[in-house]
Structure 1
Amino acid sequence: MSGADRAAILLMSLGEKEASTVLQLMGAREVQKIGNSMASMSGVSRDQVSQVLDSFLTAADQKTSLGMGSDDYVRRVMQEALGDKASNMIDRILLGRDSKGLESLKWMDPRSVAEMIRQEHPQIIAIVLAYLDSDQAAEILGFLPERARADVIMRIATLDGIPPSALSELDDVIQKQSTGSENVKSSSVGGVRTAAEILNLVDGQTEQSVLEAMRESDASLSQQIQDQMFVFENLLDIDDRGIQVILREVQNDVLVVALKGSDQSVKDKILKNMSRRAAEMLNEDMEAKGPVRVADVEAAQKEILVAVRSLADQGQIELGGKGEEYV
């Protein structure tokens, strides 16, 4: 089961009131993923529920109360230590916490966000996409005009904080969709890695056209972004333990489709980290699957890459490759 499926089973076991309380503390993308899992879930066995609950109790038992309600603590400590100088540092530490207008975009459909910002200056679009989660930004990028995509990605890669003038324009954009929002404070978003993460999650055709356009405009920046990108073949750079962690998070049907279009070396890497019986079953499933559309293969590989990124951000695996950020 995926992490979203396990979370869905846990929340459905808690009951409506408790589950709704937990969901209120989550981000938009987390709620959407768990909600999708809840809606599509059926035939959950008693053993599966017990397994999820046991796993949760084990994880919860290892947690402490440190970090709970830490925002107010950070603000008080910084104010006491730095006085008037603390404001900017607090904003950087508690990134975007006061940006209610921007936060509201995370709850919107990607197509709606694209329609809202498509007529804005490319710099404003870049700031919006850099602030959002990479998977949502990638979907939004796909709805933007093709001629604008490369320009936006290059601007994301070269962002170094957000100037006040850009923030003012951005606040005007957000005001069209939300009311009563406070002034958005400065925050440090964007950069080469953010641009690379967004490109990692768009479809193959969009990725190729954007990279080609960037190479013509700025070959050096284009190469920096490509160096930071993590593609499906880079699974070869992950150690065996990491591959085994990834396999626990990926559904078998997704893995079957993703491997149908991958190099043999990647297939060998995956199969080597499975039990003999599991590897035999996976080979049988791939043979029985028959021809698969390229678009379906790309979608399955992107789904796995999202799981890989999430595991890397949680510190459960380490990504190989050229990027200095991936250590």
Structure 2
Amino acid sequence: MLKVRTDHKSLNGLEKAACILLALGEERGSRLMERLEDDEIREVSYAMAGLGTISGKVVERLIRDFTERFAGTGELAGTFDTTERFLSKFMTGDRVSEIMADIRGPAGRTMWEKMSNVSEQVLATYLRNEHPQTIAVVLTKIRADHAARVLGLLPQNLVQMVVSRIIKMEAVPRDVLEDVEKTLRSEFMANYVRTLGHDSHAIMAEILNRTDKSLFDTIMEPLERRMPESAQRIKQLMFTFEDLTRMEPQALQALIRNCDTNVLALALKGLDDQMQMHFLTNMSERAGNLIRDEIELMGAVRAGDVEEARLSILRTAKQLAEEGEILISNRGDGANALVY
């Protein structure tokens, strides 16, 4: 025989919520439940499925407690400040800051609505480092007009891969979609809001780090005339391909080992002899000769392809720095100032 639960104190918060939704009946309870976020629906559903049998007295007690709690409340004022104080009662300061940053972030109830309100340049900068399949999922979930602008800012070779995956895409499994949402929330959205809120120069530097030289000049030349201090700050925060020559030999060698040979040869194409030699002398003699031969054999190449190869190597350098494998410095503060 199934045990009947007769003590309301034995129920946790989710179980109490599940009881009240069931007591409201399928029609009214489901209308209330559909207003919850997907992760909240999942948690309440788990609790509901595991409730077992609840005695009538417990149900009455829960409903009475629920109605009494709200009957005498009076006026309520929900603001950012009151929410932050409320969270501070049971969360650590870092966790509160993270949640509040997300709340104060781009407008939108769902993650995809929020993503649709992020600058297309910022979103494109982030996505170009992701797998084409992930990019395809994101672009199919945000607004079509926003997706079009983001797609136009991605490298051409990446665009073709993403378009191909969108065309072939079937229904995305729920668990895959949840993983993508979780990653966007924890790795992109929180960092985006935090950076935007504290140092707009840093996010501008990160964007310009990913642009080609023509767009960089188009943006920086008028900026240096109108806002010279901001332009200087952005330049100090940037990390360019030329800055790689100031890396310690061990760090540069580690970077070279993590780069595709063809990409590296394309990136070195057109560099002055001194900079090119700086890379070649940090390779084995055999590897250096292979790179030299590759550069000579490729002949004339598109400037855009060279720029994209250099950006690819910069992304690898930043990834290695984030993982603690190497140290890199920015151009404005000398060799001892670390970007990461």
> For the pair shown, which has the larger CA radius of gyration, 1 or 2?
2
Where relative contact order (Cα < 8 A, 6+ residues apart) is larger, the structure is 1
TM-score normalised to structure 2 length: 0.48
TM-score by length of structure 1 reads 0.50
